[in-house]
A and B are shown apart, each in its own frame.
Chain A
Amino acid sequence: MAEKEKKEKLLEIKHLKKYFKVAHKDVLKAVDDISFDIYKGETFGLVGESGCGKSTTGRTIIRLYEPTSGDVVFAGEAIGGKLSHRAKRDLTSKMQMIFQDPYASLNPRMMVKDIIAEGLNIHHLAKSPKERLQRVFDLLETVGLNREHANRYPHEFSGGQRQRIGIARALAVDPEFIIADEPISALDVSIQAQVVNLLQKLQEEQGLTYLFIAHDLSMVKHISDRVGVMYLGNMVELASSDEVYDHPLHPYTQALLSAIPVADPKVERTRERVILQGEVPSPINPPSGCRFRTRCPFAMDICAKVRPKWHEVEKGHWVACHLHDEGVSKDAASQPAEANNKIAAKK
């Protein structure tokens, strides 16, 4: 932990918002005022259910979307405001993305070597065609493919291999920071482990920083140093990965963790679950105050009126929940137990 504190911030996100205009005058608040930092060399996991804004956050950071407001500071440089075309291009030499669907994210009409070298061309990183090809060979070997694969087309590869090509493409420009948006959810279990191990190996070797976006909480726990939990456009909890899983503070995090089926029959038989009622409300017209209150077993009067403050409860453990507001902290400890009893009584 002490080692972590010394680490410098690579990315600071301050009050980031991304709204989409939808039909009529409606506004979809996909990401609504979230703030967090990512330290150099760490893996930051971002989890939440579909529609919580985790992918939008990633895409806004790398400027696939224009942020509505807020600041993004990358390596000391503000990149959240208006950027020229050129500045955006320069940004992609330091920041790259790996996409979810390895079938849709590779151009089927381009050869693997051209897919991987596209970044090299754009940023003029290879001086000669020979050097370019050599770099492609090196990259293929780095991701566990071989040089014979360079002259093939994407359809000749399996899902896991395609994801390796996607990773090689991201690595081509020697980025510092990689956003991996659900990089393994389209893959089979045994192949998922291969890709995750590869990502970890690359991080050790090249000192990469990852933003790992996923809905699979057990995989996120495995790969991440710190984890942020999102719900309906807000960040509700952020802490080191062990802390989030061992001492979740926010009722949503607690429910999310208890909802995951564990691959261990004995645990499954004895486990008590908090099963959330209902479904995620629409982000076009989200609930007032705390957005989770409509499904929260502990909702109080204040939750409907005031949006809970995003604050640090313990060192490195942030939460936005009225149960953990300063002042009510004593009640907060007893309240969940009470509500748990209520749930038990209902059953």
Chain B
Amino acid sequence: MEKLLEIQNLNVQFDIFGAHVQAVRGVDLELNIGETLAIVGESGSGKSVTSKAIMGLNPMPPGKVTGGKILYNGQDLAHASDKQMQKIRGKEISMIFQDPMTALNPTMKIGKQIMEGLIKHQNLNKHDARARAIELLSLVGIPNPDKRVEEYPHQFSGGMRQRVVIAIALACNPKILIADEPTTALDVTIQAQILDLMRDIQKKTGTAIILITHDLGVVANLANRVAVMYGGKIVETGTLDEIFYHSKHPYTWGLLSSMPRLHAKTDKLLAIPGTPPDLSDPPKGCPFAPRCPYAMKVCQDHMPDYTKVTDTQKTACWLLDSRAPKVEPPKTVVVGGN
């Protein structure tokens, strides 16, 4: 597998209200060509900040990258200038946002919004850009594209607007598509349509996708590889099956068992007690320790290193240390396997 993007020890901090919120604390991540990598976690886990750092979209100030690199084509995106980023945004890496109602400019025709990037990055003239815009609209499944290209966002429904946002993101054939909660604002039947569309487009264009979501159902549907984030750190990465069936981290277990299963009877949900850590004063040890039912003394004071479980799976947990007691994941997690 060929690496397309590599994040090394990324740290992002926000200085607000006199506090230093360490939203991302030493994230290592890589993205291979043509794959879909899902980053899952709760609000405040740092998943959106990580993805925005790739695009250089975190507001600076109050945000700043306090360490680490984001390598793309030999270039460090974490410390690139605005001008350099403008050449990358929309052309090499583009983004789909959560809310299709606010991601589009309400005063501009759909066609013009798609053409913008084409004219800027690909030096197309207006006529060719318009033809390409119509082509893109039909690629994302919008009927009568030659008519609808002249319409405004308010004339589209939520699902259709998300298709337009996807068309804009795909306009310049980007190598990487970052989708930040692309279906959270949509109804389930529309969500199914959009997930189908994203899979279809990846097959046609070979774009690598970084999928940011909290919905494990969407992850199971779309992803090849998963990174689980908690408290600004990646606590576990692995292939889709490794994370869902052979996870080694208690937080991943908690996530999997706190959701009711549609196909199985659940008597009581295994809730994770407590709330996520305050990242303006992050815990010294493992961020999950205060909520972890298996926490040991060492967890409070020392962040565990990554243990290589397989070639593709890495887990940061003291339970994997040779001196730790053997712990079995709760039954609710194992059920899915086999």
Contacts and interface: CB of A to CB of B under 8 A. Distances in A.
A197 B262 contact: no
Interface in B203-253: 214-221, 240-241, 244-245
Contact of A263 (B259, B269, B271, B275): B259
Interface in A52-104: none
Given A188-B43, A263-B216, A275 B192 contact: yes
B270 interface: yes
User: Secondary structure at chain A's binding surface: helix, strand, loop or mixed?
Assistant: helix
A218 interface: yes
A60 to B, nearest CB: 22
Interface stretch (B6-14, B61-69, B183-191, B316-324): B183-191
Given A193-B259, A221-B262, A259 B188 contact: yes
B268 interface: yes
A50 interface: yes
Q: Which of A260, A273, A275, A276 has the most CB atoms of chain B within a 10 A radius of its CB?
A: A260
A190 B221 contact: no
Contact of A193 (B188, B214, B271): B271
A193 B258 contact: yes
A266 interface: yes
A222 B269 contact: yes
A50 B157 CA distance: 12
Contacts of A262: 217, 220, 261-263
A165 B241 CA distance: 39
A255 interface: yes
B266 interface: yes
A137 interface: no
B272 interface: yes
Contact of B188 (A161, A260, A263, A267): A260
Nearest to B221: A261
Interface string A145-168: 000000000000010110000000
B159 interface: yes
Contacts of A158: 275
A135 interface: no
B134 interface: no
A257 B262 contact: yes
Nearest to A160: B275
